[in-house]
Structure 1
Amino acid sequence: MVTCFECKREFDVEDERDEYESYFNGELDYDEDCGGEPGEGLCAGCGIVRSEGLINQGRAIFMMNGDEDYDDDFAQKWL
C-alpha cells in the first residue's frame, strides 16, 4: 500500500492508476503526474484535482496571451 502525500489515504497504485488515466481518457500518465518517493504518491482523487488545476491555469495563460478565446471570469479564477 502507498500513502497519498496530499490526503494521507492509503491506496493501491494499480487501482488509482486506472482511475486517473480513465478520467483523462488516457491523455495523462499517472506515473509521470502522480508519482513520489517510494511508498508515496498522489491518489487518483488528489491527482485529478491537481492536474485539472494545472490544465486550467495553462488555459488561462493561453487566454492572456491571445492563444485562446478570452474568458475574463475563467482567467481571473485560475490566475
Structure 2
Amino acid sequence: GFYHEVLECIEDPDVVYEGKYGELIGMKQTQKDKYIVVVYKEESVIDGFVITSFITRKKKQFERRKKLWEKEKRRKY
C-alpha cells in the first residue's frame, strides 16, 4: 500500500486544511497532477490516528476549505 506515503503526508505535508469535525486534511503532491490526501485526527502532539487516505487529481475541491498551514515555497533565483 501507501504506508510510507501516508506517514510522510502527515509529517511533511504541502498543505493542511481544516475538516468539518475537527479532523485535519493533509495533502502532498506525489506526481505532476496527483496528490495524496490523508484525513487524520491529532489526539496530542505525539498521538493520533488516520481516518482515511486516498490519491486524487482534484486539488481544487480542497482549496475551498480553510487552510491551516502551507509549506513555504522556495524561491528560485
Superposition TM-score tier, normalisation by shorter sequence:
under 0.3
What is the TM-score of this pair, normalised by structure 1? Answer: 0.26
More helix by share: 1
More strand by share: 2
Q: Which entry has the higher C-alpha Rg, 1 or 2?
A: 1
Relative contact order higher in (CA < 8 Å, ≥ 6 apart) = 2
